[in-house]
Amino acid sequence: MKHFKILYMFSPLGYHGVQVLEHKQRPSDLLNVKRRGIRERVRAVELFIRTGSITETQRGFRRERNQQYAPSLNAVRRWVRQWREEGSVTCKKPPGRPSSVRTPDNIARGLVSVSRSPRRSARKHAQALRMSDRSVR
């Protein structure tokens, strides 16, 4: 028996209908979300600076690239703000605490421990190294 999900599609312009998804399909698979490259971001910022309008920026982007989908209003705003504040539109590192498990020291400790006793379980290695068993695997 197949499982299906029903997704009701809305946008600021109104209701767009119903889309039936198969079990493993995600709603984001339906949207044409595309990660823009650095050149496209810079070009969008240049268009905004020249025109002063996000709508004109989107139209110019579609015209130049011959694409149906232009960057969203929020994306253009974010890139312009980032350009003005930081002088670049490169991707930032994700927020949050950096991973402390995969340090060169911990990797070396794990390799030494496994090479000394390869038949020992990952759980026991992790317990001896005071790390999670997922980190030792």
pLDDT of residue 136: 77
pLDDT of residue 30: 46
C-beta separation of 75 from 83 below 8 A = no
pTM above 0.75, yes or no: no
Q: Which amino acid is at 94?
A: P
pLDDT of residue 32: 47
DSSP conformation class of 77: H
pLDDT of residue 132: 82
For residues 60 and 40, give the distance between their C-alpha atoms in angstroms, rounded to a whole number: 12
pLDDT of residue 65: 79
Strand 14-22 and strand 4-11: the pairing is antiparallel
Average pLDDT for consecutive 10-residue bins of the chain (137 residues)? 52 50 49 70 90 90 82 90 88 74 82 87 88 79
pLDDT of residue 29: 47
Domain boundaries, the chain: 1-31, 34-90, 104-136
Place of tokens 């309008």: 53
For residues 131 and 137, give the distance between their C-alpha atoms in angstroms, rounded to a whole number: 11
71, 89, 75, 80: which is closest to 48 by C-alpha?
Answer: 80
C-beta separation of 18 from 6 below 8 A = yes
C-beta separation of 45 from 57 below 8 A = no
